């Protein structure tokens, strides 16, 4: 993108999202891995209507863009992202309760919503208390844990597509393991209706806390990461295979395979995206050689990576 094109884009986006447009913004500041170069343009809409206006304008202008939620399932390239990134979060974090149904805007924090809903005596989302994503990112990824996933509670999602606004019901969302239609078509999740069920808040919160305790005993909670790097293959666990392949503790630069949960790669300080990618390839090669299984990444790679 040339400077003059960037300048024109910035002015147009600034008109739609006043004070919310940053140029050459380091994305490491905006993702849980704390890794990644700059976005040419980062848009931080301050309301749901600003988000919708910016996305609609970008679709109309034919400008490709990436939507980022809380950045907890991505690896951003060291050279960053050319073009526009739109980040949801503050300003799209409204929640409305209507009986057993919850309308949550895309930027709502999943752990926050999980705890608040449980405390109100609404069960079904307590599995998500330890998943540090947004509602939009969790719908896109069909995030899940403890044998449950978003697909079980999403009734309907309002999306913005290049053809305008639409409502996709659960059956139209193509939910599969860590996958949804949102990953395969241009669409911004604006908000989601979750169908929960009435339950005793004390019991619901107790289950939530039990699951959180299990996580803290089995997963590394300190250094920055993007959670599980690989999808579980078939009925097996990527973490078990990585452990069996003797890859725990493998390191490239500042990136290391966690000793606690082998499917986590940790940024132990100053890791680059190239370090993480090299480590991913090392782990895949080990698992392929020792277990005969091909691992595929769950995290999304964003931006300009070297073809090698």
Ligand X SMILES: Cc1cc2nc3c(=O)[nH]c(=O)nc-3n(C[C@H](O)[C@H](O)[C@H](O)COP(=O)(O)OP(=O)(O)OC[C@H]3O[C@@H](n4cnc5c(N)ncnc54)[C@H](O)[C@@H]3O)c2cc1C
CB of 88 vs ligand X, minimal distance in Å: 5
CB of 199 vs ligand X, minimal distance in Å: 22
Measured from the CB atom, the residue of 113 and 140 that comes closer to ligand X is 140
Residue numbers at the binding site for ligand X (CB under 6 A)? 32, 66-74, 88, 106, 131-134, 136-138, 140-141, 143-145, 182, 188-189, 225-227, 300
CB of 263 vs ligand X, minimal distance in Å: 10
Contacts of 137 (CB under 8 A, 6+ apart): 69, 70, 72, 73, 143
Measured from the CB atom, the residue of 258 and 272 that comes closer to ligand X is 258
Q: Return the residue matching tokens 């929640």.
A: 95
Measured from the CB atom, the residue of 198 and 213 that comes closer to ligand X is 213
Give the phi and the psi of residue 195 in degrees, each rounded to 5: -105, 105
CB of 292 vs ligand X, minimal distance in Å: 26
Measured from the CB atom, the residue of 3 and 163 that comes closer to ligand X is 163
Three-state helix/strand/coil letters over 50-72: HHHHHHHHHHHHCCCEEEECCCC
Measured from the CB atom, the residue of 182 and 196 that comes closer to ligand X is 182
Contacts of 242 (CB under 8 A, 6+ apart): 230, 248, 257, 262, 263, 283, 286, 287, 295
Contacts of 2 (CB under 8 A, 6+ apart): none
Q: Which of 191, 189, 180 is nearest to 67 (CA)?
A: 189
Element holding 165 (H helix, E strand): strand 164-169
CB of 279 vs ligand X, minimal distance in Å: 16
Where would I find the H helices in 143-251? Answer: 201-218, 238-244
């Amino acid at each position: 993108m040339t400077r003059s094109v960037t300048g024109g884009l910035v002015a147009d986006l600034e008109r739609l999202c006043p004070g919310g447009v940053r140029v050459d913004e380091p994305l490491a500041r905006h993702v849980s891995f704390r890794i990644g170069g700059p976005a040419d343009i980062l848009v931080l809409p301050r309301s749901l209507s600003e988000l919708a206006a910016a996305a609609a304008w970008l679709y109309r202008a034919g400008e490709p863009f990436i939507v980022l939620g809380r950045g907890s399932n991505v690896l951003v390239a060291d050279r960053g992202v050319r073009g526009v990134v739109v980040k949801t979060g503050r300003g799209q974090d409204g929640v409305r309760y209507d009986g057993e149904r919850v309308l949550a805007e895309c930027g709502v924090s999943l752990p926050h919503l999980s705890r608040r809903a449980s405390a109100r005596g609404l069960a079904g989302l307590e599995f998500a208390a330890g998943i540090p994503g947004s509602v939009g990112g969790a719908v896109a990824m069909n995030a899940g844990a403890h044998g449950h996933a978003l697909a079980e509670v999403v009734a309907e999602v309002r999306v913005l597509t290049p053809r305008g606004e639409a409502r996709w019901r659960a059956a139209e969302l193509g939910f599969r393991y860590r996958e949804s239609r949102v990953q395969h078509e241009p669409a911004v999740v604006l908000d989601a209706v979750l169908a929960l069920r009435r339950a005793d808040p004390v019991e619901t919160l107790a289950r939530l806390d039990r699951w959180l305790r299990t996580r803290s005993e089995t997963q590394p909670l300190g250094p920055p990461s993007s959670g599980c790097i690989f999808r579980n293959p078939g009925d097996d666990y990527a973490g078990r295979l990585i452990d069996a392949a003797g890859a725990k503790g493998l390191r490239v630069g500042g990136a290391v395979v966690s000793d606690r949960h082998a499917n986590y790669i940790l940024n132990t300080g100053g890791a680059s995206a190239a370090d993480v990618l090299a480590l991913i390839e090392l782990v895949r090669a080990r698992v392929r050689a020792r277990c005969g299984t091909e691992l595929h990444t769950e995290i999304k790679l964003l931006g300009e990576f070297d073809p090698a």
